[in-house]
Protein backbone atom coordinates (compact mmCIF):
# COMPACT_ATOMS: atom_id res chain seq x y z
CA UNK A 1 0.00 0.00 0.00
CA UNK A 2 1.42 3.42 -0.91
CA UNK A 3 1.61 6.06 1.76
CA UNK A 4 -1.10 8.70 1.78
CA UNK A 5 -0.38 11.98 3.51
CA UNK A 6 -2.86 14.78 3.96
CA UNK A 7 -1.91 18.41 4.49
CA UNK A 8 -4.64 20.61 5.93
CA UNK A 9 -4.30 24.41 6.12
CA UNK A 10 -7.02 26.82 7.25
CA UNK A 11 -7.86 29.64 4.85
CA UNK A 12 -7.06 33.21 5.95
CA UNK A 13 -6.95 31.86 9.49
CA UNK A 14 -6.80 34.93 11.79
CA UNK A 15 -9.23 36.84 9.57
CA UNK A 16 -11.66 33.92 9.32
CA UNK A 17 -11.78 33.57 13.12
CA UNK A 18 -12.64 37.28 13.37
CA UNK A 19 -15.33 36.81 10.72
CA UNK A 20 -16.99 33.98 12.63
CA UNK A 21 -17.17 36.26 15.69
CA UNK A 22 -18.49 39.20 13.68
CA UNK A 23 -20.48 37.93 10.68
CA UNK A 24 -20.78 41.49 9.33
CA UNK A 25 -17.18 41.11 8.20
CA UNK A 26 -17.89 38.08 6.04
CA UNK A 27 -17.33 38.49 2.31
CA UNK A 28 -15.47 41.77 2.86
CA UNK A 29 -11.84 42.88 2.69
CA UNK A 30 -10.48 42.37 6.22
CA UNK A 31 -6.95 42.57 7.57
CA UNK A 32 -5.59 41.30 10.89
CA UNK A 33 -2.27 42.75 12.01
CA UNK A 34 -3.00 46.19 13.39
CA UNK A 35 -5.21 49.24 13.17
CA UNK A 36 -5.01 51.24 9.93
CA UNK A 37 -1.95 53.42 9.38
CA UNK A 38 -0.13 51.94 12.33
CA UNK A 39 3.39 50.64 12.06
CA UNK A 40 3.55 46.89 11.51
CA UNK A 41 2.57 44.42 8.85
CA UNK A 42 -0.40 42.40 7.66
CA UNK A 43 -0.57 39.03 9.47
CA UNK A 44 -3.60 37.71 7.60
CA UNK A 45 -5.71 39.13 4.78
CA UNK A 46 -9.14 37.90 3.66
CA UNK A 47 -9.33 36.65 0.08
CA UNK A 48 -11.47 39.70 -0.72
CA UNK A 49 -8.57 41.88 0.47
CA UNK A 50 -6.07 39.80 -1.51
CA UNK A 51 -7.95 40.78 -4.68
CA UNK A 52 -6.56 44.29 -4.03
CA UNK A 53 -2.99 42.93 -3.83
CA UNK A 54 -2.83 42.68 -0.04
CA UNK A 55 -0.82 39.82 1.48
CA UNK A 56 0.85 38.72 4.73
CA UNK A 57 4.00 40.66 5.49
CA UNK A 58 2.89 43.81 3.65
CA UNK A 59 3.27 47.04 5.69
CA UNK A 60 -0.10 48.19 7.04
CA UNK A 61 0.35 51.64 5.47
CA UNK A 62 0.72 50.06 2.02
CA UNK A 63 -2.30 47.81 2.66
CA UNK A 64 -4.32 50.85 3.69
CA UNK A 65 -3.33 52.75 0.55
CA UNK A 66 -4.21 49.82 -1.77
CA UNK A 67 -7.48 48.99 -0.05
CA UNK A 68 -8.74 51.87 2.12
CA UNK A 69 -12.19 50.31 2.49
CA UNK A 70 -10.78 47.23 4.30
CA UNK A 71 -11.51 46.67 8.00
CA UNK A 72 -8.28 46.62 9.99
CA UNK A 73 -8.24 44.53 13.18
CA UNK A 74 -5.48 44.29 15.74
CA UNK A 75 -6.36 40.70 16.57
CA UNK A 76 -5.96 38.76 19.79
CA UNK A 77 -3.92 35.63 20.12
CA UNK A 78 -6.00 33.65 22.68
CA UNK A 79 -8.91 33.46 20.21
CA UNK A 80 -6.66 31.98 17.54
CA UNK A 81 -5.02 29.57 19.96
CA UNK A 82 -8.44 28.35 21.04
CA UNK A 83 -9.59 27.83 17.43
CA UNK A 84 -6.29 26.09 16.67
CA UNK A 85 -6.72 23.62 19.53
CA UNK A 86 -10.23 22.76 18.38
CA UNK A 87 -8.99 22.38 14.80
CA UNK A 88 -6.24 19.98 15.87
CA UNK A 89 -8.60 17.90 17.99
CA UNK A 90 -10.96 17.45 15.02
CA UNK A 91 -8.01 16.18 12.96
CA UNK A 92 -6.96 13.82 15.74
CA UNK A 93 -10.38 12.14 15.44
CA UNK A 94 -9.46 11.04 11.91
CA UNK A 95 -5.99 9.62 12.48
CA UNK A 96 -3.65 9.27 15.43
CA UNK A 97 -0.70 10.22 13.23
CA UNK A 98 -0.99 13.98 13.45
CA UNK A 99 1.81 16.51 13.09
CA UNK A 100 0.69 20.07 13.82
CA UNK A 101 2.74 22.75 12.06
CA UNK A 102 2.11 26.14 13.59
CA UNK A 103 -1.45 27.09 14.49
CA UNK A 104 -3.43 26.49 11.34
CA UNK A 105 -1.79 23.67 9.46
CA UNK A 106 -1.04 20.02 10.03
CA UNK A 107 0.00 16.81 8.34
CA UNK A 108 -2.06 13.70 8.84
CA UNK A 109 -0.95 10.22 7.85
CA UNK A 110 -4.14 8.60 6.61
CA UNK A 111 -2.86 5.38 5.07
CA UNK A 112 -5.46 2.75 5.89
CA UNK A 113 -7.80 5.06 7.80
CA UNK A 114 -9.73 6.10 4.70
CA UNK A 115 -11.62 2.80 4.53
CA UNK A 116 -13.80 3.95 7.47
CA UNK A 117 -15.03 6.84 5.31
CA UNK A 118 -15.37 5.04 1.99
CA UNK A 119 -12.53 6.76 0.15
CA UNK A 120 -9.76 9.27 0.75
CA UNK A 121 -11.81 11.87 -1.05
CA UNK A 122 -14.80 11.25 1.21
CA UNK A 123 -12.54 11.36 4.24
CA UNK A 124 -11.20 14.77 3.18
CA UNK A 125 -14.74 16.04 2.60
CA UNK A 126 -15.75 14.79 6.08
CA UNK A 127 -12.79 16.63 7.65
CA UNK A 128 -13.65 19.84 5.83
CA UNK A 129 -17.29 19.54 6.84
CA UNK A 130 -16.49 19.08 10.52
CA UNK A 131 -14.15 22.08 10.50
CA UNK A 132 -16.81 24.18 8.77
CA UNK A 133 -19.64 22.91 10.98
CA UNK A 134 -17.88 23.16 14.33
CA UNK A 135 -15.55 26.12 13.81
CA UNK A 136 -17.16 27.97 10.90
CA UNK A 137 -13.78 27.91 9.12
CA UNK A 138 -12.73 26.80 5.64
CA UNK A 139 -9.83 24.40 5.28
CA UNK A 140 -7.88 23.49 2.15
CA UNK A 141 -6.66 19.94 1.84
CA UNK A 142 -3.87 18.43 -0.24
CA UNK A 143 -3.28 14.68 -0.50
CA UNK A 144 -0.20 12.93 -1.87
CA UNK A 145 2.35 10.22 -1.17
CA UNK A 146 4.60 12.59 0.81
CA UNK A 147 4.55 15.77 2.82
CA UNK A 148 6.00 18.18 0.32
CA UNK A 149 3.61 17.40 -2.54
CA UNK A 150 0.63 17.30 -0.13
CA UNK A 151 1.54 20.80 1.07
CA UNK A 152 1.96 22.19 -2.44
CA UNK A 153 -1.39 20.63 -3.43
CA UNK A 154 -3.21 22.20 -0.44
CA UNK A 155 -1.68 25.59 -1.21
CA UNK A 156 -2.63 25.35 -4.87
CA UNK A 157 -6.22 24.37 -4.08
CA UNK A 158 -6.90 27.43 -1.87
CA UNK A 159 -9.37 28.73 -0.88
CA UNK A 160 -11.77 26.00 0.32
CA UNK A 161 -9.92 23.50 -1.86
CA UNK A 162 -9.33 19.77 -2.07
CA UNK A 163 -6.67 18.35 -4.37
CA UNK A 164 -5.31 14.83 -4.54
CA UNK A 165 -2.16 13.94 -6.47
CA UNK A 166 -2.15 10.30 -7.55
CA UNK A 167 0.86 8.17 -6.68
CA UNK A 168 3.35 8.32 -9.53
CA UNK A 169 2.04 11.67 -10.77
CA UNK A 170 4.07 13.79 -8.31
CA UNK A 171 6.79 14.93 -10.78
CA UNK A 172 4.34 15.86 -13.53
CA UNK A 173 2.13 17.70 -11.00
CA UNK A 174 5.06 19.79 -9.76
CA UNK A 175 6.84 20.34 -13.09
CA UNK A 176 4.92 23.36 -14.48
CA UNK A 177 4.81 25.25 -11.14
CA UNK A 178 7.13 28.20 -10.45
CA UNK A 179 9.98 27.31 -8.07
CA UNK A 180 8.59 29.72 -5.44
CA UNK A 181 5.81 27.16 -4.81
CA UNK A 182 8.28 24.56 -3.52
CA UNK A 183 8.47 24.77 0.30
CA UNK A 184 11.94 25.62 1.53
CA UNK A 185 12.98 27.82 -1.36
CA UNK A 186 13.30 31.29 0.13
CA UNK A 187 13.60 34.48 -1.88
CA UNK A 188 17.39 34.05 -1.83
CA UNK A 189 17.19 30.52 -3.24
CA UNK A 190 14.76 31.74 -5.86
CA UNK A 191 17.20 34.46 -6.97
CA UNK A 192 20.09 32.01 -7.24
CA UNK A 193 18.01 29.57 -9.27
CA UNK A 194 16.59 32.28 -11.51
CA UNK A 195 20.20 33.33 -12.11
CA UNK A 196 20.88 29.78 -13.34
CA UNK A 197 17.94 30.06 -15.73
CA UNK A 198 15.69 27.86 -13.55
CA UNK A 199 12.12 29.11 -13.23
CA UNK A 200 9.91 26.03 -12.87
CA UNK A 201 10.06 23.06 -10.49
CA UNK A 202 10.38 20.82 -13.55
CA UNK A 203 13.58 22.62 -14.60
CA UNK A 204 14.87 22.31 -11.05
CA UNK A 205 14.13 18.57 -11.03
CA UNK A 206 16.18 18.12 -14.19
CA UNK A 207 19.22 19.96 -12.79
CA UNK A 208 22.15 17.62 -12.05
CA UNK A 209 22.44 16.95 -8.30
CA UNK A 210 26.14 17.87 -8.29
CA UNK A 211 25.35 21.33 -9.63
CA UNK A 212 22.65 21.88 -6.99
CA UNK A 213 25.05 20.81 -4.25
CA UNK A 214 27.65 23.27 -5.52
CA UNK A 215 25.21 26.14 -5.05
CA UNK A 216 23.22 24.97 -2.01
CA UNK A 217 25.54 22.61 -0.16
CA UNK A 218 23.79 19.80 1.73
CA UNK A 219 20.32 21.30 1.13
CA UNK A 220 20.88 20.71 -2.59
CA UNK A 221 20.10 17.06 -1.95
CA UNK A 222 16.67 17.87 -0.47
CA UNK A 223 15.86 20.37 -3.22
CA UNK A 224 16.58 17.68 -5.77
CA UNK A 225 14.40 15.10 -4.05
CA UNK A 226 11.50 17.46 -3.35
CA UNK A 227 11.53 18.87 -6.90
CA UNK A 228 11.19 15.27 -8.11
CA UNK A 229 8.28 14.70 -5.72
CA UNK A 230 10.26 12.34 -3.50
CA UNK A 231 9.71 12.83 0.22
CA UNK A 232 9.68 9.96 2.70
CA UNK A 233 9.82 12.09 5.85
CA UNK A 234 7.69 10.62 8.61
CA UNK A 235 4.80 12.26 10.42
CA UNK A 236 6.26 13.48 13.69
CA UNK A 237 3.91 13.85 16.63
CA UNK A 238 4.64 16.95 18.73
CA UNK A 239 7.40 16.27 21.23
CA UNK A 240 6.06 16.20 24.76
CA UNK A 241 7.02 19.56 26.24
CA UNK A 242 9.93 19.34 28.60
CA UNK A 243 8.97 22.40 30.57
CA UNK A 244 5.92 24.49 31.43
CA UNK A 245 6.03 28.23 32.06
CA UNK A 246 3.80 31.28 32.31
CA UNK A 247 4.79 34.94 32.28
CA UNK A 248 3.14 38.33 32.39
CA UNK A 249 4.25 41.71 31.07
CA UNK A 250 2.93 44.57 33.21
CA UNK A 251 1.26 47.65 31.74
CA UNK A 252 3.58 49.76 33.90
CA UNK A 253 6.87 48.77 35.51
CA UNK A 254 6.38 47.29 38.99
CA UNK A 255 8.49 47.82 42.06
CA UNK A 256 5.91 46.84 44.68
CA UNK A 257 6.89 43.45 46.08
CA UNK A 258 3.36 42.47 47.16
CA UNK A 259 2.11 42.96 43.62
CA UNK A 260 5.00 41.00 42.17
CA UNK A 261 4.29 38.17 44.60
CA UNK A 262 0.57 38.22 43.87
CA UNK A 263 1.30 37.89 40.16
CA UNK A 264 3.80 35.15 40.90
CA UNK A 265 1.14 33.28 42.87
CA UNK A 266 -1.31 33.51 39.98
CA UNK A 267 1.29 32.31 37.46
CA UNK A 268 2.39 29.48 39.80
CA UNK A 269 -1.21 28.27 39.99
CA UNK A 270 -1.43 28.29 36.21
CA UNK A 271 1.79 26.31 35.88
CA UNK A 272 0.82 23.91 38.69
CA UNK A 273 -2.56 23.25 37.17
CA UNK A 274 -1.03 22.34 33.79
CA UNK A 275 1.62 20.23 35.45
CA UNK A 276 -1.01 18.17 37.26
CA UNK A 277 -3.16 17.96 34.14
CA UNK A 278 -0.21 16.33 32.40
CA UNK A 279 0.24 13.99 35.34
CA UNK A 280 3.80 15.19 35.96
CA UNK A 281 5.97 16.39 38.83
CA UNK A 282 8.80 18.88 38.72
CA UNK A 283 12.31 18.95 40.13
CA UNK A 284 13.28 22.45 39.03
CA UNK A 285 11.58 25.83 39.39
CA UNK A 286 12.79 28.88 37.45
CA UNK A 287 11.96 32.52 38.03
CA UNK A 288 12.26 35.04 35.22
CA UNK A 289 12.43 38.80 35.66
CA UNK A 290 12.77 41.45 32.99
CA UNK A 291 13.66 44.97 34.00
CA UNK A 292 12.51 48.21 32.43
CA UNK A 293 15.63 48.32 30.23
CA UNK A 294 14.81 44.81 28.91
CA UNK A 295 17.70 43.07 30.67
CA UNK A 296 16.37 39.69 31.70
CA UNK A 297 17.50 37.38 34.47
CA UNK A 298 16.51 33.82 35.30
CA UNK A 299 17.12 32.11 38.63
CA UNK A 300 16.56 28.40 39.19
CA UNK A 301 16.25 26.16 42.19
CA UNK A 302 16.34 22.37 42.24
CA UNK A 303 13.85 20.85 44.67
CA UNK A 304 15.04 18.29 47.16
CA UNK A 305 11.97 16.27 46.33
CA UNK A 306 9.84 16.48 43.21
CA UNK A 307 6.40 18.03 43.59
CA UNK A 308 3.49 19.49 41.67
CA UNK A 309 1.54 21.65 44.11
CA UNK A 310 0.91 25.34 43.47
CA UNK A 311 2.34 26.06 46.90
CA UNK A 312 5.64 24.32 46.21
CA UNK A 313 6.08 26.17 42.93
CA UNK A 314 5.07 29.49 44.46
CA UNK A 315 7.17 29.13 47.63
CA UNK A 316 10.25 28.33 45.56
CA UNK A 317 9.54 31.17 43.15
CA UNK A 318 9.03 33.59 46.03
CA UNK A 319 12.36 32.65 47.60
CA UNK A 320 14.07 33.20 44.23
CA UNK A 321 12.28 36.53 43.86
CA UNK A 322 13.30 37.64 47.35
CA UNK A 323 16.93 36.89 46.58
CA UNK A 324 16.80 38.59 43.17
CA UNK A 325 15.20 41.72 44.65
CA UNK A 326 17.78 41.90 47.40
CA UNK A 327 20.44 42.13 44.70
CA UNK A 328 18.63 44.45 42.29
CA UNK A 329 15.74 46.71 43.28
CA UNK A 330 14.93 48.06 39.82
CA UNK A 331 11.27 47.92 38.75
CA UNK A 332 10.27 44.91 36.65
CA UNK A 333 8.30 44.94 33.43
CA UNK A 334 7.85 41.18 33.25
CA UNK A 335 7.70 38.32 35.70
CA UNK A 336 7.51 34.64 34.83
CA UNK A 337 7.73 31.24 36.48
CA UNK A 338 8.52 27.90 34.93
CA UNK A 339 9.08 24.28 35.88
CA UNK A 340 11.40 21.84 34.15
CA UNK A 341 13.05 18.50 34.74
CA UNK A 342 9.59 16.91 34.70
CA UNK A 343 9.19 13.44 36.15
CA UNK A 344 6.48 10.86 36.60
CA UNK A 345 4.78 11.11 39.99
CA UNK A 346 6.35 9.04 42.73
CA UNK A 347 4.52 6.60 44.93
CA UNK A 348 2.52 7.79 47.92
CA UNK A 349 5.33 6.48 50.14
CA UNK A 350 7.50 9.28 48.77
CA UNK A 351 5.31 11.76 50.55
CA UNK A 352 7.48 12.92 53.36
CA UNK A 353 4.86 14.24 55.70
CA UNK A 354 1.19 14.78 56.26
CA UNK A 355 1.26 18.40 55.11
CA UNK A 356 2.55 17.41 51.67
CA UNK A 357 -0.23 14.88 51.39
CA UNK A 358 -2.78 17.48 52.48
CA UNK A 359 -1.50 19.88 49.82
CA UNK A 360 -1.83 17.26 47.14
CA UNK A 361 -5.42 16.58 48.13
CA UNK A 362 -6.20 20.28 48.18
CA UNK A 363 -4.76 20.76 44.71
CA UNK A 364 -6.86 17.89 43.42
CA UNK A 365 -10.03 19.50 44.73
CA UNK A 366 -9.08 22.90 43.28
CA UNK A 367 -8.30 21.38 39.90
CA UNK A 368 -11.65 19.59 39.84
CA UNK A 369 -13.57 22.79 40.63
CA UNK A 370 -11.57 24.74 38.07
CA UNK A 371 -12.14 22.14 35.39
CA UNK A 372 -15.86 22.45 36.02
CA UNK A 373 -16.26 26.19 36.58
CA UNK A 374 -13.19 27.78 35.00
CA UNK A 375 -9.78 28.74 36.30
CA UNK A 376 -10.87 31.85 38.14
CA UNK A 377 -13.73 30.18 40.02
CA UNK A 378 -11.31 29.89 42.90
CA UNK A 379 -8.99 32.63 44.03
CA UNK A 380 -6.30 32.29 46.57
CA UNK A 381 -5.85 35.11 49.06
CA UNK A 382 -2.99 36.65 47.15
CA UNK A 383 -4.38 36.65 43.65
CA UNK A 384 -7.52 38.49 44.81
CA UNK A 385 -5.52 41.72 44.70
CA UNK A 386 -4.86 41.23 41.00
CA UNK A 387 -8.23 42.49 39.76
CA UNK A 388 -6.59 45.40 37.98
CA UNK A 389 -4.05 43.17 36.26
CA UNK A 390 -6.31 40.28 35.37
CA UNK A 391 -9.87 41.56 34.92
CA UNK A 392 -11.01 37.94 34.60
CA UNK A 393 -10.23 37.36 38.28
CA UNK A 394 -13.21 39.47 39.29
CA UNK A 395 -15.95 37.69 41.16
CA UNK A 396 -13.89 34.67 42.16
CA UNK A 397 -14.30 33.00 45.51
CA UNK A 398 -11.64 33.43 48.05
CA UNK A 399 -9.87 30.37 49.28
CA UNK A 400 -7.18 30.50 51.90
CA UNK A 401 -4.29 28.28 51.02
CA UNK A 402 -2.76 26.61 54.03
CA UNK A 403 0.75 27.70 54.75
CA UNK A 404 3.17 24.87 54.80
CA UNK A 405 5.10 24.36 57.96
CA UNK A 406 8.50 23.15 57.01
Please list the active-site residues: 105
Secondary element (H or E) of residue 73: strand 71-73
Which of the listed partners (Mg ion, ligand TTP, none) does 158 bind, with a CB threshold of 5 to 8 Å by partner kind?
ligand TTP
* Cα 51 versus chain centre, distance: 28
d(CA 21, CA 43): 18
| C-alpha of 75 from chain center | 15
Say if strands 244-254 and 332-343 run parallel, antiparallel, or are unpaired.
antiparallel
Nearest CB to ligand TTP, comparing residues 80 and 375 = 80
Of Mg ion, ligand TTP, none, which one sits near residue 107, judging by CB under 5 to 8 A according to partner kind?
A: none
Could you tell me the smallest distance in angstroms from the CB atom of residue 22 to ligand TTP? 16
- Least distance from ligand TTP to the Cβ atom of residue 305, Å: 42
The residue among 136 and 171 lying less far from Mg ion, judged by its C-beta, is 136
CB 392, min distance to ligand TTP, A: 25
Alpha-carbon distance 281 to 17, whole Å? 36
CB 140 within 8 A of CB 157: yes
Residue 186 touches which of ligand TTP, Mg ion, none (CB < 5 to 8 A by kind)?
none
C-beta neighbour count of 120 within 10 angstroms: 18
State how far the alpha carbon of 229 is from the alpha carbons of 163, 262, 287, in Å: 15, 55, 47
Q: How far is CA 194 from CA 148, 149, 203, in A?
A: 21, 22, 11
The smaller minimum CB distance to Mg ion, of residues 10 and 123, is found at 10
User: d(Cα 167, Cα 173) in Å, to the nearest integer?
Assistant: 11
Provide, rounded to whole angstroms, the least separation between the CB of residue 88 and ligand TTP: 14
Residue 202: which of ligand TTP, Mg ion, none does it interact with, CB under 5 to 8 A by kind? none
231 binds, among Mg ion, ligand TTP, none (CB under 5 to 8 A by kind): none
Chain residues that interact with ligand TTP, rule: CB under 6 A: 9-14, 43-44, 56-57, 104-105, 158-159
Number of residues that make up the chain = 406
Closer Cβ to Mg ion, 9 or 310, answer by number: 9
How far is it, in rounded angstroms, from Cα 121 to Cα 143? 9
Nearest approach in angstroms of CB 158 to Mg ion is: 8
Q: Which does 57 bind (CB under 5 to 8 A by kind): Mg ion, ligand TTP, none?
A: ligand TTP
- Nearer residue to Mg ion within complex by CB, 46 or 316: 46
Whole-number minimum distance, CB 142 to Mg ion, in Å? 12
Q: In the bound complex, what is the minimum distance in angstroms from residue 147's beta carbon to Mg ion?
A: 16
Q: Rounded CA gap, 158 and 142, in Å?
A: 10
- How many angstroms separate the Cα of 303 from the Cα of each of 308, 313, 317, 325, 342? 11, 10, 11, 21, 12
Question: Which residue lies nearer to ligand TTP by CB, 86 or 257?
Answer: 86
Of the pair 10, 235, the CB lying nearest ligand TTP is at 10
Instruction: Measure the CA–CA gap between 236 and 239, rounded to whole angstroms.
Output: 8
Return the one option of ligand TTP, Mg ion, none that residue 44 interacts with (CB less than 5 to 8 A, by type): ligand TTP
Query: Smallest distance from the beta carbon of 96 to ligand TTP, in angstroms?
Result: 24
Site residues (vs Mg ion, CB under 5 A): 9-10, 13, 104
Which is nearer to ligand TTP, 8 or 378 (by Cβ)?
A: 8
If one counts every other C-beta atom within 10 angstroms of the C-beta of residue 85, the result is 12
Q: Which of 49, 32, 53, 50 is nearest to 41 (CA)?
A: 32
Residue 173 interacts with, from Mg ion, ligand TTP, none (CB under 5-8 Å by kind): none
- Rounded to whole angstroms, how far apart are CA atoms 62 and 60? 5
Cα distances (angstroms) measured from residue 372 to each of 89, 113, 194, 375, 377 = 20, 34, 58, 9, 9
Amino acid sequence: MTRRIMHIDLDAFFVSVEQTLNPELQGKPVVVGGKRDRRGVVASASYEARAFGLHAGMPLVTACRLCPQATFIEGSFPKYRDASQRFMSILADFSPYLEPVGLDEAYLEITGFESIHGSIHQMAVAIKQRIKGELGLCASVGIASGKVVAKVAAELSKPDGLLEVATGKEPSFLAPLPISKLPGIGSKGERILNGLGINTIGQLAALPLAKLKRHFGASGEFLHRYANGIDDRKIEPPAAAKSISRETTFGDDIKDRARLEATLRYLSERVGSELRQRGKQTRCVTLKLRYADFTTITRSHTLRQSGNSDQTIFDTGRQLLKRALSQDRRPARLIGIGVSNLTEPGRQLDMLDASALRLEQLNKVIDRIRQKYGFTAIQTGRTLQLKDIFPETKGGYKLNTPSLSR
